[in-house]
Structure 1
């Protein structure tokens, strides 16, 4: 049996594409193990899937001044030694990295041991972790054609890695989960795996006005539930959904979301009209702004900048998006995106060490 080590973490966006590859890899008789951080979201997600999990030391590499910049490089070095130990024990045929800072020690350790490494970059410009990893990996798979100008000869346009299960959603199951009847159109609001306080506040500030026309499913992030809204007519809130997500997406007519690459390509694949509220430069490196502008320019998404976000502007945008929903669906139906899932599996097969 061939063996693959997968890595990536920090957010669900660095984990879900790995999950999307696993069913196909199992069919090809790969044994799968995972390397992640000790306390990251990836540990919770992967262990729920029954995948063997190895925790290593991980330090964050920051672009700004912080006292932790003194200590975290030592954590990264320790992470390399931790990863070397795991890889020597597991003896994988290949390592597949989805990015995030925990992946850097794993990729470096694999390079030291001459284990083939493939990395995947979701955003238009590679993040710091993948810029470092690119020196040590065999190939960097990218989602946007524009990214190739940053990758040199190591870049391969692979497209987005989409979970096949998303196409198997059942809106009836989602109605059972939420108690909605299907009479009103449904808006799905999601602020990323950790939620967004500002989006949450904007939605709740106009809840009574929204629910007169729509039913609302609100994924508000861990610790962000508002018990005062439990049982509110036309409104259901959850911290996070995993298995039920495909069903909720199947039922949803509109989506309000951050502009993480994995999410927006899922909306594109499912032809879901969407309003993107990207993370601003003040709290990101600007990757979501680039993602959102790319989709806006192609007619796939409506964009509302966070600095312009209020309850009133959100309501106006939602009404406009609903009026133009068929226009957005038609634009998305013309997309000729590469099947990133199949190509990623083909490349894993190609580069796996015999």
Structure 2
């Protein structure tokens, strides 16, 4: 009889994509995979399972949502726990694995009442509230960054398989000459400031020092961003969205981006230098903590958004050389364990097999 695993993840891509990677790992091992998510989360669109293997709850977070939401929390939580417990009784999982997001709280409580072993995975360098709560009742705590939770096991963040087989950064950088290539990752949470400031910054550089620019603009930003590049006289290759991020990361000498957990993990897995502008309104300022992982390795420069200006960006860019960026890329690669999906999978299997 096949083993059964319930994956709990919801809300944002930072929770859902690592969960999808682990779900794929277990599907390839012929496990029966089930999913618990929220009705309004990204997972509703991305998870491709038989509908009878999925449960989507009407349960939402309470942070910054006012007194009314807090007052109704006990009722909403009890209802979500009851629905999840009924789902568990039907599917009879061997293990429940949570990847964060508010939806995992009722899922974790129901799993504990059902007496099913729980594993959680925390993607960020500073743990979210749901995982801080569930860590107390989990058999194993897996970490995307070392030290995020006490007694956690560092495995890294599960990534798509193409990030596991990349060329050595030293060889990649040494094979290049000429202008630097800068990849700007706009279009994610609160990234409009990157779209506004960076084209202006590059226009202030001497023409012979300007890098070749690849810029992910984000949904509905392409025309506006192209007009800005045209106005400031900077040549750039723009995309609304890039599907094959691994290929573009590998072409870049420097990545300029926010510091979400998966972005930082992808940068480390590829081995590329980075300039990170953490999103200042992220819960618990976790993006700064994520970026500090690479900064401490000497692999990244962190620029707080409050200090970000075209003049400061130019100052940093003019100090960049390919040998320096190569050193940063090699150091970034040194921070990646590699094979995070397999490591996470093995730790989960140990509880069942």
Is 2:82–2:110's contact at 8 Å kept on the other side of the alignment? Answer: yes
Stretches of structure 2 that go unaligned for 5 or more consecutive residues are: 168-176
Q: Aligned partners of 2:221 and 2:86: how far apart in 1?
A: 38
Q: Does the C-alpha gap of structure 1 residues 151 and 189 become closer, same or farther in structure 2, counting only changes over 3 Å?
A: same
Query: Considering only CA atoms, is the larger Rg found in Structure 1 or Structure 2?
Result: 2
Asked if 1 retains the 8 angstrom alpha-carbon contact of 2:202 and 2:314, the reply is no
Q: Residues 228, 298 of structure 1: CA spacing in aligned structure 2 closer, same or farther, 3 A cutoff?
A: closer
Conserved? CA contact 1:169–1:247, under 8 Å: no
Describe the SS at the equivalent of 1:123: coil
Contact 2:201 2:310 in 1 (8 A): yes
CA RMSD of aligned residues (A): 3.1
1:234 counterpart = 2:247: no
Confirm whether residue 194 of structure 1 aligns to residue 189 of structure 2: yes
Per the TM alignment, residue 197 of structure 1 is displaced from its structure 2 partner at its CA by 2.2
Q: Per-residue CA shift, 1:202-234, capped at 9, x if unaligned?
A: 134346568963343333444444446279642
Unpaired stretches in structure 1, ≥5 consecutive residues? 171-181
Q: Give the SS at the match of 1:285.
A: helix
Secondary structure of the residue aligned to 2:101 is: coil
SS in 1 for 2:100: coil
1:301-332 Cα shifts (integer Å, max 9, x gaps):
11111111123323333343455212202323
SS at match of 1:160: coil
From 157, 162, 165, the counterpart of 2:162: 165
Change (3 A) 1:192 1:50: farther
Aligned residue pair count? 334
Structure 1 counterpart of 2:213, from 200, 212, 216: 216
Distance in 2 between residues matched to 1:336 and 1:14, nearest whole Å: 19
**TM-score, structure 1 length as denominator?**
0.82
Q: Specify the alignment match of 1:14 in structure 2.
A: 15
CA shift at 1:12, angstroms?
0.8
Find runs of 4+ consecutive structure 1 residues off by over 6 angstroms.
none
Distance of 1:261 and 1:189 partners within structure 2: 17
SS in 2 for 1:69: helix
Check conservation: 1:214, 1:234, Cα contact below 8 A.
no
Distance in 2 of aligned mates of 1:285 and 1:251:
33
Change (3 A) 1:235 1:8: same
Equivalent position of 1:290 in the other structure: 289
State the distance in 1 between where 2:162 and 2:204 align. 33
- Deviation of 1:193 (Å): 4.0
1:149-187: per-residue Cα shift (whole Å, max 9, x none)? x435xx3233332332224579xxxxxxxxxxx986432
- Aligned counterparts of 2:100 and 2:22: Cα–Cα separation in 1: 15
Helix, strand or coil for the counterpart of 1:15? helix
Once structures 1 and 2 are overlaid, which stretch shifts more, 266-275 or 30-39? 30-39
Q: Name whichever of 15-24 and 185-194 sits farther off.
A: 185-194
Aligned ranges 1:256-271 → 2 under 5 Å: 256-271=256-271
Q: Deviations over 1:274-306 (max 9, x none)?
A: 1111122x5431222222223212212111111
Q: Distance in 1 between matches of 2:273 and 2:239?
A: 21
Using the alignment, how far apart are the partners of 2:187 and 2:137 within structure 1? 30
Task: Tell me what 1:116 maps to.
Answer: 117
- Cross-structure match for 1:244: 244
